[in-house]
Copies of this chain bind each other. A is one copy, B any other.
Amino acid sequence: MDNFLWDITTKVYFGRGQIKNLGPKAAGYGKKALLVYGGGSVKRIGVYDAACNSLREHGISFAELSGVKPNPRIDSVREGVRICREFGAEMVIALGGGSCIDCAKVIAACVSCEADPWDLVCGREKYKSVLPVLSVLTLAATGSEMDPVAVISNMDTNDKLGTHHPAMRPVVSILDPEYTFSVPPYHTACGTADIFVHALENYLWHDNGAFLQDRFAEAVMLTCIKYGPIAMKNPEDYEARANLMWAGSHAINGLLSLGKEHPWVAHSIEHQLSAYYDVTHGAGLAIILPHWLNYILNDQTVSKLQQLAVSVWGVAPSGDGFSDAKAGIIKMQEFFASMDLPGTLREVGIPDKSRIKEMAQKAFRYISRRSYVPLSADDVEKILEACW
């Protein structure tokens, strides 16, 4: 187990009615906030009104940035930074899913910088101080509510990049599972796949003795398998929504990855699908995952992939690690299919293979050199070919 620092400072108010804590907690950070949200759904489900009321009751005034899209755009960040400066916002409050929270984080980090936000996201310039970020979560998926990372897209350049700063971790997050009751089945499935893959990306590393972390990762994956289908079938099943929501936070807040490497390979590949074709992130992951795992199954990885099959997918050990590992991958494919997730690139509307090579080359640039199994751009191309 490698050395690490545990420093998960987000205060999480979890459960029904916790929105009442937004105003009192925000008041600790100032009197003026920027509210960041997407379309009409936060208004429809009542989050917007509840948040505004709680803020007003505690003397907090706010400006608003609405219309933040899935795979949030750098243009929204620029607009948010402009409003923050004009209004003098002392904090940024996201109402929504990971896209809104990511957008809020990068706005909060760019306000104090003169550089263009895209230069900051690309790492060409450095963040200085970061405004406090608060979040009210309405989708169990990205885990952005408890982590210090944001992913921003630039459709002009077909880039979707991760960026991070310790102070981007939200200081307060409100997690009310009822706010996810209205998430439609398809997006529930995509969110579940996203959570599952976060846990898996943390899990897939060479054995360095981080045993407890791996058992925690299995716990998160088992939670996805149990509750994803229930939440799709019964959108107002509180237990299912609560478990998915809490699993989503822990999948990526650090609990599963401390003391080990976590190279985020599937994510680096998927980000190209989103950047080139605006594919829903969780759907892209569900397509890539089985093909990536099949591609990397070898003598070095077989024991971990067998363990995944046995502990997570309930495969009965046959004595043949490869056969068990493959049985696990098939069960995973069946699981994603049972949640009506796509299994091929064609199903998400990618018309031909014309940009596969380009996407593979781009993904390769972001795949950590310390990848679980080293992949060349050719390898990534073959994986994407298999996905088509």
Contact = CB atoms under 8 A, between A and B. Distances in A.
Contact of A14 (B12, B13, B177, B259): B259
Interface in A1-41: 1-18
A227 B243 contact: no
B2 A212 contact: no
A5 B222 CA distance: 24
A209 B13 contact: no
Contacts of A250: 212
Interface size range on A against B = 35 or more
A218 B215 contact: yes
Interface string A243-256: 10011001000010
Given A215-B223, A250-B212, A11 B7 contact: yes
Contacts of A16: 3
A14 B9 contact: no
A186 interface: no
A220 interface: yes
A287 interface: no
B212 A220 contact: yes
Nearest to A21: B5
Interface of A: 1-18, 177, 209, 211-212, 215-216, 218-220, 222-223, 226-227, 238-239, 242-243, 246-247, 250, 255, 258-259
29 contacts: A1-B15, A1-B238, A1-B239, A1-B246, A3-B15, A3-B16, A4-B14, A5-B12, A5-B14, A6-B11, A6-B14, A7-B11, A7-B12, A8-B8, A209-B239, A209-B243, A211-B223, A211-B226, A211-B239, A211-B243, A212-B243, A212-B246, A212-B250, A215-B222, A216-B216, A216-B219, A218-B219, A246-B259, A255-B255
